[in-house]
Each structure stands twice: as structure tokens, then as C-alpha cells.
Amino acid sequence: MKNNAFVTLLFVAFTLTGLCQDNVIYGIKNKNYYTLVTDPNDPLNQFEQFDSTVSRLVSIDPVNGQLANIGSYTFTEGLNGTGGTIDPYNNFYLVSTAGGNSFKSIDLVNGNLVNNPAVALPNGITSFQEWRFNNSDTTVYGLAINQTEQYLSKINPVTGAVSLISQNPITPNGYGSGNTTIDPYFMVYYYTQPLNNHLVGLDLYDGTVYNDVPITISGNAEGKRFVNLVYNCRDTLIYGLVQETYTSLVPNPNDPNNPTEEVDSTTLKLARINSTTGIVTILSPTAISYGGFDVNGGVTIDPFNGIYYYSSGTAIIGISTVSGLVVSNEPFATQVNENVKLLRFYDNCKDVDPIREDPALTANLDIEEMMMLSIFPNPTNEHCTIQSNSPIKSVHVFDQAGRLINEHSIDSFENKIDISTTNLNNGLYMLVINNVKTIKLTIDHTSID
């Protein structure tokens, strides 16, 4: 009965995801106002000084860059650019004001403000940052931080109460702004650690470190960063941009014998990262952009059409997750001093269910149910290896529609087996081991094992 329930659940999860077609990108449009002031040191010189900002929810058409205001609600408290997320079940866009003082729920249909509680932080915590909505348990997760510590946490959007999940601070402290995403299947919150250039995954169940791997970029890694992460529920991969910075040596007027390095230019390429190994695979054959990107512009992905979107600050740029080539580059239809932040795609990961169960709930299971699995390489091309801490008796391979594709019975009961995948088409598969445990496998025949 348990196995049939799993297959039914898997079928429903993928079917519902495929049927949801509300393929809309949302974001926050800001309009900044400036006052012309006189330079006190030079009365003949005037300059613009920032005065105030007005923000509102908009929908974005990536085909032409057109913006549509949603409702009439605006706010003037400023914008916390590290968060911004969508709750597709209540049809809310969740955003926090500058300084993280309040947490707003804005209706995606009519633009009305539904909730606006003050953020209530635990003792010793100074802010709640980098929040993301997890579709598989309908919870908003983020990092609760102070000057020296950070904890995986969650917030109640109705009350504004922030609760710590991690019992101990995550070390080392620090995170890359805008470089966070959630794997809703395995219940892991990922972020980049700039101090040691690692990809860190935190267990959403207990806040401990799930994995921590160095980020490895092919070629000369100097001057390269992996940024603007987003998880794609369609192929279960994490995508991002490899930003490469080029510098030039320029004379130092204060010390002619010691020239200084000065940033000359930057390039961007679409890439994906293996969350198990930290290896980054660059997808773009050539640079997709010369220049930077808006770190608070947000990044999002259209899983149905396989397009990764990011903001350059003035335009929305779409890149194919297959070819790595730019498929659209549309300037935002904005006025002077307007910009668009925190792009979010509505229907990525909606209606999915977690595959990895809460370890605390499986503490009393028998030995077979507690088996630990690993699979590599993943993604793979021609074959994969499954390794377990207990004998492997059978492997059932299901596709995204819940159909049984292959069945393997292993008479030798080995702890490590190899399986050919040459007959499988590109895409995501679920491997059920011993009719008990499930692990994801991505087939990509364009890759090289």
C-alpha cells in the first residue's frame, strides 16, 4: 500500500505542476525622487540628492518588457532587496521594507495589502534576510542574523514572528546577497558562502548543515563567481550566472614601483551547479553580457520553457537553460528614475511534495527504511552508480508522469551497483530503491560523464 501511495503521489505532483500555466513574472517597481541641492562647498554647483521612493507590485511581460501595475497600493518605506517571494497558494507577493521593519503580503490579483505585521525578531537577532517561500511545506525560510552569527529561520507572514530553526549558529558566518534558493524536494535551503567560496545547504527540518562543498568553476577560477541562484523544479537543477571580472594593472601615482589592479570589465555566462559536488558547468558558449547585473533585481526561471531570467537593471534578459544563449533582451518600459526589483516567476515548484522525510519522524523505522543512498554522476549520460549503507535488492525507475520505465532486480544484494541509462530520454526520473527509499536522477545526454 505504501508503494502504491508513493506512485500515486508522484504522479499527482508532476501532473499538477504541468497543468498550472499561470506563467507570469512579478516584481516590485520603484520610483525614486530627488531634490536639487546646492553644494555648500561650491555655491555655483548643484547636485541631485535622494529624497524618497515609492514602490508597488507589477507584473512583467518578458517578451516586450511591458509592466502592468497591479492595483493602486504603494508603499514609501523603501525596499529590503534581499528577499521577495511568492506564495502561490494564497496568491500573495511577500516583501519586506527597508531595514526589515515590516513584512507585507500583497494580493497578486488586486494588489491590495493583506498583511503588514511588524517583524518580531528573537532576542539577540538584528535582522531577517534572504527569505524564500518553500512550496512543498508552504513556509517562508530565511537567515536570522546579527553581527557575528546566523541561523536558519522561518517567519509567520501573518504575525511577523521569526523563529529560529538552527539550534546553533551556522559557521562560518556570511552569505552572498541574492544567492539563495530552496530545493523543495529534499528540503534544503542553499546559499553561497563568500568567505570560502562554498555552496552551503541547510536542512529545513532542523537547521543543521546538510552539505557544504567548495564551488569549482572550470578553467582559471580567479576572478569568477557563481551568483544569482535559482532552483528549477522541472529538472531539479540549480542555475546561476558565472560572473568573470577582468582587471588591468595601472600605474600607482603614489608608488610607481607597485601598480594597482583596476577592474576593466565583467562578463556573464549561464551555468548550473551540482549541489553534491559543487562543480559548476558553464552552459553559455560565449559571454551573454558584458557588464554587470542588478543584484537586487532578482532572478527567476520559467521551468516550462526552460528560460532563466535576470535583470540587468534596465532590461529583463532571458537565457535558454539548454543552449545557454540569450533568447530575449527587452528593456523595461519604465520612466525616468524607475527600476524593477525582485523578479519572481509564479509557477516554479507549485504543488510539489517533499521526497526526503523529516529525520526526526523516521527515527524508529527499521534498518531498511533508514538506508542512506547516494547516486553519481547526477546529472548523468550513459550510466549511474547507486551506493547504499545496506544491500540493494531492487531498483524501480519512474518518469515524471509516474510511469514505471525500468525495473532492476539484484540477486547479489550488493551495496553498490551500476545501472545503464542509455535508453532513458533527457529529463527527471525517480528511482525507488528496495520499494522503500527514493532518489532523484537527471538524465542529460548532452553532458559527458
- Tell me the CATH number at 422: 2.60.40.3080
d(CA 88, CA 350): 7
Q: Are strands 416-420 and 427-433 parallel, antiparallel or unpaired?
A: unpaired
- Note whether 336 and 385 are same-domain residues: no
Contact 277, 217 (CB under 8 A): no
Sheet holding 315-320, edge to edge: 299-302, 307-311, 315-320, 326-331
Judged by DSSP in three states, 12 sits in: helix
Reported as a single tens digit per residue, the pLDDT across 349-384 is 888 888 788 877 765 555 455 567 888 888 888 889
The answer to whether position 13 is within a domain reads no
Specify the pLDDT at position 282: 93
- Note whether 180 and 315 are same-domain residues: yes
Contact 56, 69 (CB under 8 A): yes
The answer to whether position 426 is within a domain reads yes
- Note whether 333 and 425 are same-domain residues: no
Q: What is the DSSP letter of 18?
A: H
d(CA 64, CA 59): 12
The answer to whether position 10 is within a domain reads no
- Note whether 76 and 188 are same-domain residues: yes
Specify the pLDDT at position 55: 92
d(CA 385, CA 328): 38
d(CA 175, CA 82): 11
- Note whether 393 and 269 are same-domain residues: no
Domain boundary among 311, 345, 379: 345
- Note whether 207 and 277 are same-domain residues: yes
| Higher pLDDT, residue 170 or 9 | 170
- Note whether 287 and 369 are same-domain residues: no
Largest distance between two CA atoms of the chain: 89
For 179, 303, 371, 393, the CA distances from 312, given in Å and listed in that order, are 16, 21, 46, 51
| Higher pLDDT, residue 385 or 7 | 385
pTM score: 0.75
The answer to whether position 12 is within a domain reads no
The answer to whether position 116 is within a domain reads yes
- Among 288-292, 365-369, 397-401, where is mean pLDDT lowest? 365-369
- Note whether 391 and 341 are same-domain residues: no
| Higher pLDDT, residue 143 or 412 | 143
- Note whether 77 and 192 are same-domain residues: yes
The answer to whether position 8 is within a domain reads no
Domain boundary among 345, 379, 414: 345
pLDDT confidence band for 18 (50 / 70 / 90):
very low
CB atoms within 10 A of CB 232: 20
The whole-number average pLDDT for the span 82-97 is 92
Contact 271, 241 (CB under 8 A): yes
The answer to whether position 305 is within a domain reads yes
| Higher pLDDT, residue 291 or 442 | 442
Q: Quote the domain boundaries for residue 436.
A: 365-443
C-alpha cell at 307: 528560460
Specify the pLDDT at position 349: 86
The answer to whether position 304 is within a domain reads yes
pLDDT confidence band for 222 (50 / 70 / 90):
low
pLDDT confidence band for 6 (50 / 70 / 90):
very low
CB atoms within 10 A of CB 350: 19
Contact 437, 373 (CB under 8 A): yes
- Note whether 249 and 397 are same-domain residues: no
Contact 277, 258 (CB under 8 A): no
Over the chain, what is the mean pLDDT? 84
Domain boundary among 310, 345, 380: 345
- Note whether 101 and 67 are same-domain residues: yes
Reported as a single tens digit per residue, the pLDDT across 145-165 is 998 899 999 999 999 999 999
Radius of gyration of the chain (CA): 24
Closest C-alpha among 174, 179, 125, 177 to residue 154: 125
Contact 187, 203 (CB under 8 A): yes
Taking 80 as the threshold, does the pLDDT of residue 270 lie above it?
A: yes
Sheet holding 198-203, edge to edge: 180-183, 188-193, 198-203, 209-214
Residue 443's contacts (CB-CB under 8 Å, 6 or more residues apart) are: 379, 380, 381, 421, 424, 425, 426, 427, 428, 429
d(CA 46, CA 35): 10
- Counted domains in the chain: 2
- Note whether 300 and 404 are same-domain residues: no
CATH assignment of the domain containing 216:
2.120.10.30
pLDDT confidence band for 7 (50 / 70 / 90):
very low
